[in-house]
Structure 1
Amino acid sequence: MIKKITPVLATAVLLVPTGAHARTTPAVMAALGDSISAGFNACGWYVACTSRSWSAGDSPSVNSHYLRLLAMGSAIKGHNLNFAVPGATSADLAGQARRAAQAGAGYVTVLIGAQDACVGTEKEMTPVGAFRRNIDQAFDVLRPTGARIYVASIPDVKRLWRVGKDNGWARVFWGIGHICQSMLANPKSTAKKDEARRDRVRERVMDYNEQLRQACESYGPACRHDGGAVFSYPFTLKQVSGWDYFHPNADGQKALAKITFDAGFFSDVEP
């Protein structure tokens, strides 16, 4: 007599793809970028709070990509690397990419470019061509590893000006800290020259975002762009740090984690 054999589910969680583009989860991930991905000012006075990073943080208050992958059953526990550096520009991305490659990261998030535009004056902004070369150089470092890259768009810094310009504390911190003066200088001014300057800086950020999209497309199917989700997100002052009125606080990092993950590789993967 033939006995009926009942399949036994192993203790490891299986990831079942629910869509054509589902991906298995990675064992090692790395966050690349600037102060946003480093969680700067998300938990204290002018310090990097990597635990509250939207990408690789381990704080439940943010529910980062790392924690979401961990909840899916990924073997990623303890392998959430953060190579993002406050103040980093696109020129620093290749160096960070090398560290990610050496660490064997199979999933890499990239959020870079705010510091290329947020400088003292318009003239100091990174030229678009140089920005693209820097991105391509970093992606070329990662290409041989087969790493999946998730590219988040740069936030709309003009929106930050719009929601903060009438707040006295925001204006004080922007001025004292010399924060993003290419956009935030003379925040109450309605002079045509200041309005035109803000529009040009925003245009530069949009140009950077387009180059990020194109570079991701050139990398191939192992790269996913957020489709402008971060740039379009309606951030409020309640989601930025009270230490500088510029960087995302824990609530802002939480919002970043959700909108980017929902537009990413693993939104169609379920336990």
Structure 2
Amino acid sequence: MKDCPEVSWATGTRVDSVARKLLASPQTSSWNYARTGARMADLPAQMQSAIAHKPQLVTVLLGANDACRTDVADMTPAASFRADFEAAVKNLRTSLPKSQLYVASVPDLQRLWSQGRTNGWAKTVWKLGICPSMLKDSESADPATEQRRAQVVKRVAEYNAILKDVCGRDALCRYDGTVHGYDFTGEALSQWDWFHPSKKGQGELAALAYRTITAEKPPA
């Protein structure tokens, strides 16, 4: 899997990204440290790299890979998720007390499954090992499989509750629950892996983020 920062919802120059909406020169005044497969444990180091540029706004979208593991037993524990997120936010606030922070909720992985489970190509590519905790045996409806999916849904809810809680205790942080609640369709998903956002999906994420970042008041 190759990273494509040029089509990133946050800093991309080939989509109407947050950086393009907010900056006159996004190519020279925005930086992207997102990496394919990154989990919350990677955020403290990513945040440290971002801090070096003294940004006025930092955007974070992490958590799907913490839930998308080989087995539900391998999902990042909620306590570890919280500790790493708190450490990253604390570092940002200590280093840059006036910088804003935008935190997107973890997308709805169950909706991802529901959008692709009847698509022949999606089912084929998912068998290569994409998010097996949710997408393995995508056509199965036996109790064990449904219980496995339910565990992923529960863990994602726990992650989002943590993001909202930690962000809510920082005056310059805005948590965006609309990302999880967004009713995306297959057109918003990459036709290569039916997991990452397509160019259209990146644009939709950017629109959601921009709306939250520029709103007069933080979301309730």
What TM-score does the superposition give when structure 1 sets the normalisation length?
Answer: 0.77
Secondary structure at the residue paired with 1:108? Answer: strand
Whichever residue aligns with residue 199 of structure 2, its letter is A
Whichever residue aligns with residue 109 of structure 2, its letter is V
Give the aligned partner of residue 150 of structure 1: 102
Give the aligned partner of residue 208 of structure 2: 259
Give the aligned partner of residue 182 of structure 2: 233
Give the aligned partner of residue 55 of structure 2: 105
Give the aligned partner of residue 213 of structure 1: 164
Give the aligned partner of residue 247 of structure 1: 196
Written as runs of structure 1 = structure 2, the 5 A alignment for 1:52-131 is 52-59=7-14, 62-70=15-23, 78-131=28-81
Once residues 194 and 172 of structure 2 are traced to their aligned partners in structure 1, the CA distance between those partners, rounded to angstroms, is 35
Give the aligned partner of residue 14 of structure 1: none
Give the aligned partner of residue 167 of structure 1: 119
Decide which structure has greater helix share. Answer: 2
Once residues 55 and 250 of structure 1 are traced to their aligned partners in structure 2, the CA distance between those partners, rounded to angstroms, is 12
Query: Percent of aligned pairs with the same residue?
Result: 39
Whichever residue aligns with residue 263 of structure 1, its letter is T
Q: Where does structure 1 differ by over 3 angstroms across 4 or more consecutive aligned residues?
A: 74-77
Written as runs of structure 1 = structure 2, the 5 A alignment for 1:8-27 is none
Whichever residue aligns with residue 102 of structure 1, its letter is A
Secondary structure at the residue paired with 2:12? Answer: coil
Whichever residue aligns with residue 2 of structure 2, its letter is V
The Cα offsets for residues 98-138 of structure 1, whole Å up to 9 and x where unpaired, read as: 01111111210000111100010000000001100010010
Question: CA RMSD, aligned part only?
Answer: 1.5
Q: 1:91 to 1:118 in 2, by over 3 A?
A: same
Alpha-carbon contact 1:90-1:135 (below 8 Å) kept: yes
Alpha-carbon contact 2:7-2:199 (below 8 Å) kept: yes
Equivalent residue in structure 2 for 1:191, among 142, 151, 155: 142
Q: What are structure 2's unaligned runs of at least 5 residues? A: none
Alpha-carbon contact 1:57-1:80 (below 8 Å) kept: no
Whichever residue aligns with residue 81 of structure 2, its letter is F
1:77 Cα deviation after fit: 5.8
The Cα offsets for residues 32-58 of structure 1, whole Å up to 9 and x where unpaired, read as: xxxxxxxxxxxxxx3211011001111
Whichever residue aligns with residue 167 of structure 2, its letter is C
Q: What are structure 1's unaligned runs of at least 5 residues? A: 1-45
1:267 Cα deviation after fit: 3.7
Equivalent residue in structure 1 for 2:6, among 34, 51, 60: 51
Q: 1:207 to 1:172 in 2, by over 3 A?
A: same
1:250 Cα deviation after fit: 0.3
The structure showing larger relative contact order (alpha-carbon pairs under 8 Å, at least 6 residues apart) is 1
| Structure of greater Rg | 1
Whichever residue aligns with residue 116 of structure 1, its letter is D
The Cα offsets for residues 132-166 of structure 1, whole Å up to 9 and x where unpaired, read as: 00100101110121221000001001001011111
Q: How many positions carry a matched residue from both structures?
A: 215
Alpha-carbon contact 2:125-2:193 (below 8 Å) kept: yes
